[in-house]
Amino acid sequence: MRYSHAVFIARLQPPHRAHIQVIERALDKADSVVIVLGSSRSAPGLRNPWTAKQREEMVRRCFDYETGQRLRFLAVRDQPYNDTNWMAEVHMKVNEATAHSENVALVGHMKDNTSFYLEFFPQWKFVDLGLMHEGMSATSVREQYFEEGRDGGKEWRDRHWHDAVHAGVLDWLKEWKQGPEYEALHKEWKFIASYKERWASAPYPPTFVTTDAVVIKSGHVLLVRRGANPGKGLLALPGGFIDTDKTLLGCALRELKEETRINVDQRVLREHVRDKEVFAHPERSTRGRTISHAFYIKLADGGTLPRVKGGDDAAGAFWLPIGDLHLRETEFFEDHLDIIEHFIHTSR
């Protein structure tokens, strides 16, 4: 059967040979291919180093101009704690791109539990294109790419990342490696590698537990700017790893005070805790499995905002108007924007 449009949903961080082959096969089955790029508007990090526009450029280098005219790229934001909103955004953008066509196929391969999203769109005919290049993953490409540094380096396991990507993607990545963005992420990679090495002798993969404080007052949220890796320079909630001798709330308030120097008594902060939630997406942190207990503190509206000043490992602290959150979303560390949005939308 011939389709008007084939939809391919992928992060492509970066696109490897199997991704390009999926697109090639989709072009054989449809007049146009709509590529939905996930992780749009994420802050640059080891899991999401490249913007949607940069990933589009990589893919386009793999096709001639005429074929490229049959490709359409859409970008959607990750929503790790709200599948419904994510599905709605994908559906809306694809409908607009295809002029609400009913002759649409969803293409891909149901390889493992990471492919669960392919079952979210029963309105489109699913076409399984089969497994291509078994064992190939964008994760291993990224690890090798950042491990070797600017000047190259030793081969990683049995396959060098050069072999896993199309020549057009290889050229793009080599060019990007010479810029300042690569250097910053290479430093973060070294930090994470050292961090994981310290836990390598543990009998089981470690699970880390942290707390975060979401403090809201008069339409503003209290944020810090991270002073160290991972995520150096990014916006974040005040928080940190738990102490063994304090309650979870006690840990959250200690970190809040140390990182922001907020001019509010701890007793008042405790009295204004309105909600709490656990955030535990398996891929929320590059450090390893990290579970955060977040506390929502709603201070009384009106009056001046309490004085704050960055302290401990925070390079700065400030109040951001909630209305400006999405203007700054590409600056947020890990899933901290999702945590803020959860409390804004569910709590009073």
pLDDT tens for the chain, residues 1 to 348: 899 999 999 999 999 999 999 999 999 999 999 999 999 999 999 999 999 999 999 999 999 999 999 999 999 999 999 999 999 999 999 999 999 999 999 998 876 666 677 889 999 999 988 766 666 789 999 999 999 887 665 544 445 789 999 999 999 999 999 999 999 999 999 999 999 999 999 999 999 999 999 999 999 999 999 999 999 999 999 999 999 899 999 999 999 999 999 999 999 999 999 999 999 999 999 999 999 999 999 999 999 999 999 987 899 999 999 999 999 999 999 999 999 999 999 876
288 CB contacts (<8 Å, ≥6 apart)? Answer: 196, 199, 205, 206, 207, 208
52 SS3 class: helix
Domains assigned to the chain: 3-180 (3.40.50.620), 207-346 (3.90.79.10)
Roughly how many angstroms between the first and final C-alpha of the chain, as a whole number?
Answer: 52
Name the pairing type of β-strands 30-37 and 71-75.
parallel
Nearest to 256 by CA among 308, 218, 321, 329: 308
**Residue ranges of E strands in the chain:** 3-10, 30-37, 71-75, 104-108, 125-128, 207-217, 220-226, 235-236, 239-241, 273-279, 289-298, 314-321
Omega before residue 206 within 30° of 0, cis: no
Residue 179: exposure state from Cβ atoms within 10 A (0-12, 13-18, ≥19): exposed
Neighbours of 110 (CB within 10 A): 13
Q: What are phi and psi of 22, to 5 degrees?
A: -60, -45
DSSP string, 229-282: SSSTT-EE-SEEEPPTTS-HHHHHHHHHHHHH--SS-HHHHHHTEEEEEEE--T
Interatomic CA distance for residues 222 and 264, integer angstroms: 13
Quick check: helix, strand or coil at residue 114? helix
Beta strands at 71-75 and 207-217: parallel, antiparallel or unpaired: unpaired
